[in-house]
Amino acid sequence: MKKSFLSCVALVATLFVACNKESYYHTMGLQYPQSIAVVDADQTLDSVVFATTDNFNLTSNADWMTVPDSMRSGRIQNVYQMIWMVASPLVFETNTTGKIRTALLTIHCTGANEWDQSATATYKQLHWLNITVPAPNYAYKDGDITDAAFVMTDSATQVSDSLCFRVHGNWTLTEGAFVHPTTMEGEAGKNIVRLTIDPNLSADERQEQIVLTSNGISTPIVVKQKGRKEETE
């Protein structure tokens, strides 16, 4: 393993220098994620960052989250017994399962004097796109989030609204019978799309669905528009 893969540099300070071959300082610890990393359904890359003084191996328990071959193990020539920061990329398959899924990444470090230690990083991948406006309405089961719905409600006379989202790939957006996005496609990143809305001349509420798609993941957004009767009551 080349040192260029192990991080830019070791930490500045040497924690302990052995006086003889029998003494050796060992440590390892997760820097990111420190608890749980939540990744988006269309996300294909993230990372793990940890500190170690010793050789390491990385293993995933899920076939949809993999560690590049070049980072699955590393041999640290730790002559000066320094702490090295290791940042490894992780590769995800997009989540088309329709449910939240969880993967565990195990970091196993071994060193001199039979030193052996492991830590586990948890990655939870959502099955919907990262839409912030409208805000998600979450569904729960046994205290855990299981799903999210996106609904915006407009008045009968409202003629525009906005959709805000962050995606990891090129995206497309459909239109509805009375909802017309001013932009139908775009690139990865944070996006704000203005929606043109036809006035509702009916007394009754109506609703339409538009669909946002990125990296093969589609998430519906429901647009509800109040009727004229509701406005005057």
Note down pLDDT in tens along the chain; length 233 residues. 333 334 433 333 333 333 233 446 888 999 999 989 999 999 999 999 999 999 999 999 999 999 999 999 998 877 667 889 999 999 999 999 999 999 999 999 998 888 899 999 999 999 999 999 999 999 999 999 999 999 999 999 999 999 999 999 999 999 999 999 999 999 999 999 999 999 999 999 999 999 999 999 999 999 999 998 755 55
Task: Note whether 55 and 147 are same-domain residues.
Answer: no
8 Å CB contact between 91 and 44: yes
Q: Exposure pattern of 215-227 as b/e (b: 16+ CB <10 Å)?
A: bebebebbbebbb
Residues 171/41, Cβ–Cβ less than 8 Å: no
Question: Do 50 and 12 fall within a single domain?
Answer: yes
The whole domain housing 228 covers 130-232
What is the token pair recorded at 56? 């390491």
Beta strands 84-92 and 185-186, pairing class:
unpaired
If asked whether residues 113 and 16 sit together in one domain, one would say: yes
Check whether residue 97 and residue 13 sit in a common domain. Answer: yes
Q: What residues have CB less than 8 Å from 229, skipping those under 6 apart? A: 203, 204
Give the CATH number of the domain where residue 21 resides: 2.60.40.10
List the structure tokens of 81: 């017994």
| Residues 144 and 208 placed together within one structural domain of the fold | yes
